[in-house]
Structure 1
């Protein structure tokens, strides 16, 4: 697994597998957010399989599927709600981790300085500078 910590609440990663849940639990995670729509690519585990494995490992799981491309405000709001409602620390994943990092950046807008958001994602390996104006406007 390629886990990239954004802050004390959220870590993001590329696609995980049902068999990763025990290791994620041992690593201290309490919740999983899946940002991939089911069937996005062949061989991808469906959310039901991830959620079932998470439940067996004692992890909460939520599906906030986002199609590639700029997320809509409703997507950002749903992700922010999940961050507030789920027990932390949380692992959010998508195909590469970029959508999850993008959603965090936009959901943090208005509550943190833009440069702090950009620095946190940059430190995790994600360049959110193209979103700087959108983050700053929030």
Structure 2
């Protein structure tokens, strides 16, 4: 299973500098894809920020949201988050040397609990920590 971070889901649905690389990976991927249900909120937040800052229009945001919903319904398994997952994420963030922020720690804790073999992320800090915990970060 490949754990997919929101940093990859956004350029799958919104035109960004890494969109071509992410779309190419997605089209060639035959693995099971999963992400924490938290990615739904995080994705919506990213769209809201992009709209508020004028990076995308309301129509582009609506189109991206529809594409994301299709992705979740068809190719992306959404993993539920238990209290223990939040605690594990908290423990990960307590180590200041990791550089992890709360949301990324939550993704990492979920990937660990799901026993993901690899992680699709564009976040360097998350990729470095995934590798440290023996989850192979994918290169884009």
TM-score bracket for the superposition, by shorter chain length: 0.3 to 0.5
Q: When the two structures are superposed, what TM-score results if normalisation uses the length of structure 2?
A: 0.35
Q: When the two structures are superposed, what TM-score results if normalisation uses the length of structure 1?
A: 0.35
